Amino acid sequence: MDLLRSVKDRTDETEFYTPLPDGYTLGSTKYVVVFGTVISGLGKGIFSSSLAKLLKDKHLRISPIKLEGYLNIDSGTLNPFRHGEVFVLDDGMETDMDLGTYERMLDQDLTRQNFATSGQIYSTVLAKERAGTYLGRDVQMIPHVTGEVKLRLRELAVRSRADVVFIEVGGTVGDIENAFYIEAMRELSYEEGEGSVVFVALTYVLTPSALGEQKSKAAQLGIKRLMEFGIHPHILACRAEQPVLEKVRQKLAVYTNVPMRRVFSMHDLPSIYLLPSIMREEGLDSELVQLLNLGGRVNSAHELRAASEWHRFSSRIGHASQEVSIGITGKYTALRDSYASIIKALEHAGVANDAKVNVEWIDTTDIHDGNVVKALETVDGIIVPGGFGTRGSEGKISCIGHARRNKLPYLGICLGFQMAVVEYARHMANLEGANSSEMDPDCKHPVIDILPEQKKIEGLGGNMRLGGQDVTLTPGTLAAELFPGADQVRMRFRHRYEVDPRYLDPLTQAGLIFSGCHPHHPIMQILELPREVHPFFIGVQFHPELTSRPLRPSPLFVGLVKAALERKSKAGKEEAGMQGMHGIKAKQEG
Ligand code: GLN
Predicted confidence (pLDDT) per residue in 392-411, tens digit: 999 999 999 999 999 999 99
Nearest atom within ligand 1 for CA of residue 416 = 8
Across the range 361-387, mean pLDDT stands at: 94
What is the band of 582 on the pLDDT scale with cuts at 50, 70, 90? low
| Residue 512 resides in a domain | yes
Separation of alpha carbons 567 and 322, rounded Å: 13
Burial 377-412 (b: 16+ CB within 10 A, else e): eebbbbbbbbbeeeebbbbbbbbbbbbbeebbbbbb
Please tell me whether residues 179 and 286 are part of one structural domain. yes
Pocket lining: 415 vs ligand 1, CB cutoff 6 Å:
yes
pLDDT at 7: 41
Asked if residue 336 is part of any domain, the answer here is yes
| Distance, CA of 83 to CA of 317 (rounded, Å) | 27
Residue among 497, 498, 523 whose CB has most ligand 1 atoms within 8 A, to mutate:
497
Same domain, 285 and 338: no
Q: Could you tell me if 298 and 365 lie in one domain? A: no
What mean pLDDT comes out for the span 346-365? 95
Which of 110-114, 273-277, 363-367, 585-589 comes out lowest in average pLDDT? Answer: 585-589
Q: Please tell me whether residues 470 and 371 are part of one structural domain.
A: yes
Give the residue-averaged pLDDT of 499-509: 96
Q: What is the pLDDT of residues 139-160, one digit of tens each?
A: 999 999 999 999 999 999 999 9
CA-based radius of gyration for the chain: 27
Answer with the one of 261, 282, 312 that is the final residue of a domain: 312
Residue nearest to atom 8 of ligand 1 (CA): 386
Residue 341 sits in a domain whose CATH number is 3.40.50.880
Query: How far, in Å, CA of 498 to CA of 278, rounded?
Result: 46
- Which of 280, 312, 344 is the last residue in one of the domains? 312
What does the pLDDT average to over 201-214? 95
Q: Which residue, of 282, 312, 342, is where some domain finishes?
A: 312
**pLDDT band at 3; cut points 50, 70, 90:** very low
Same domain flag for 433 and 560? yes
- pLDDT averaged over every residue in the chain: 91
CA 413 – ligand 1 centroid, Å? 9
**Which is more confidently placed, 254 or 335?**
254
Task: Output the pLDDT for position 223.
Answer: 96
Between the CA of 28 and the centroid of ligand 1 the distance, in Å, is 44
67: Cα separation from own chain's centroid: 16
Mean pLDDT calculated for residue range 117-121: 96
Write the pLDDT tens digit of every residue in 538-578.
Answer: 999 999 999 999 999 999 999 999 999 999 998 888 877 77
pLDDT per residue over 215-257, tens digit each? Answer: 999 999 999 999 999 999 999 999 999 999 999 999 999 999 9
Q: Is 582 inside a domain boundary?
A: no
Distance from C-alpha of 100 to C-alpha of 547, rounded to nearest angstrom: 9
Based on the structure, what is the number of domains in the chain?
Answer: 2
Q: With respect to residue 224, please indicate whether it lies within any of the assigned structural domains.
A: no
Q: pLDDT tens for residues 445-485? A: 999 998 666 545 444 445 788 999 999 999 999 999 999 99
401 & 285 share domain: no
Query: Taking residues 306-317, what's their average pLDDT?
Result: 94
Say if ligand 1 is within 6 A of residue 542 CB.
no
On whether residue 521 sits in a domain, the answer given is: yes
Q: How far apart are CA 565 and CA 205, in angstroms?
A: 42
Same domain, 393 and 465: yes
Give the per-residue pLDDT at 572: 83
- Give 75's pLDDT tier (boundaries 50, 70, 90): confident
Share of the chain above pLDDT 90, in %: 82
Catalytic residues: 414, 543, 545
More confident residue, 456 or 284: 284
Residue 281's CATH number = 3.40.50.300
Task: Please give the torsion angle defined by the CA atoms of residues 238, 239, 244 and 250, in that order, rounded to the nearest 10 degrees.
Answer: -20
- Is the pLDDT at 25 greater than 80? The verdict is yes
Q: Is the CB of 266 under 6 A from ligand 1?
A: no
**CA distance linking residue 310 with residue 441, whole number of Å:** 49
Same domain, 357 and 282: no
Domain annotation covers residue 377 = yes
pLDDT at 330 over 80: no
Q: What is the extent of the structural domain holding 519?
A: 323-571
* Residue 47: pLDDT band with limits 50, 70, 90: very high
Mean pLDDT computed over 260-283: 95
Mark whether 294 and 403 lie in a shared domain.
no
Residue 65 confidence (pLDDT) above 80: yes
Q: State whether 295 and 425 are in the same domain.
A: no
Do 358 and 274 share a structural domain? no
Full-prediction pTM beyond 0.75?
yes
**pLDDT computed for residue 454 by the predictor:** 54
Ligand 1, pocket-test mutation among 341, 390, 419, 438, most atoms within 8 A of CB: 438
C-alpha 444 – ligand 1 centre gap (Å) = 20
Q: What is the mean pLDDT of residues 2-30?
A: 70
